[in-house]
Amino acid sequence: MPNNCYFNMVVSGNPENLRKFLELFIYEEDIGGDKKEYFARTFLESWKNIGEFMEDKKEEIENGVIDINGWCAWSCHSCWIEGYPKGKECITLIEACKKFKVSVVVESEEGGMQFEEEIECDEEGNLKEDCYDFVDWKCKKCGEKSGFPRAYEKESLEDETCYNCDSEGFWEDIREMEIKDLKDMRVIVSEEEWVKCSEELKLELIALSRMTGEDIQNNLTDEENKLYDKLAYDLDGGLK
């Protein structure tokens, strides 16, 4: 059984083309039916049919921009980019944008495998997509880790419950903990000890400073900066 991937899609285009584009979604009454063309496994079940949806979104359609919330199976990528299942009735996002001259911006979240997607496609079919893992937060009471979307701040987690101990709202950002640990490490070592640090540890500290804008970077020598550039290159630029 697939996990649900929840998405928000903003679609822009002229009203006539937007109405045609909206026919590609699966509404409540479409489930188990025989649509001629549609986005694979992409559901707007909050509306019985396209007529109800267009009535609800009438003003948005006339203004040329629609905000859509729905879900698809597994991931937006597998449903819209791959077009799975690859039957002739399943249209891809690129094909749809070119066919109906619309542009879309999408953000999605899949809580089971803990990832989120960002997808953009213009009316010429130019596609941009990224996928990110959720960020780990740590329960302050039991120490268990849980993943949440990158945009979540501590205030956003006040109602989130730890699945391990059922505590609510007791979360600590592991990113902040790791940054603090590394900053403390850089502060407490002497210059002699810093020279003895492994190249891997120096690379972590230098990369940290460049990502966070902390003062660590300002204390680096020319040689240490060269070290970063060399090691980052050796690691295929993964930390650049």
Q: Are residues 129 and 140 in the same domain?
A: no
Check residue 68 and give its pLDDT. Answer: 97
pLDDT above 70: residue 220: no
pLDDT band of 159, cuts 50, 70, 90: confident
Confirm whether 73 is domain-assigned: yes
Check residue 34 and give its pLDDT. Answer: 83
Q: What is the dihedral of CA 49, 1, 148, 40, to 10 degrees?
A: -40
> CA Rg, the chain, in Å?
24
> Which of 151, 147, 130 has its CA nearest to residue 138?
147
What average pLDDT does range 136-150 have in this prediction?
86
Model confidence over 90-110: pLDDT tens digits? 999 999 999 999 999 999 999
State the average pLDDT for the chain: 81
Confirm whether 182 is domain-assigned: no
> Which of 2, 21, 161, 15 has its CA nearest to residue 96?
21
Domain count within the chain: 3
H-assigned helices in 37-104: 50-56, 58-63, 76, 93-100
DSSP helix/strand/coil, 131: strand
- Which residue range forms the structural domain that includes residue 196? 189-234
Check residue 13 and give its pLDDT. Answer: 97
Q: Are residues 128 and 140 in the same domain?
A: no
Confirm whether 122 is domain-assigned: yes
> Which of 29, 27, 46, 48 has its CA nearest to residue 38?
27
Check residue 32 and give its pLDDT. Answer: 84
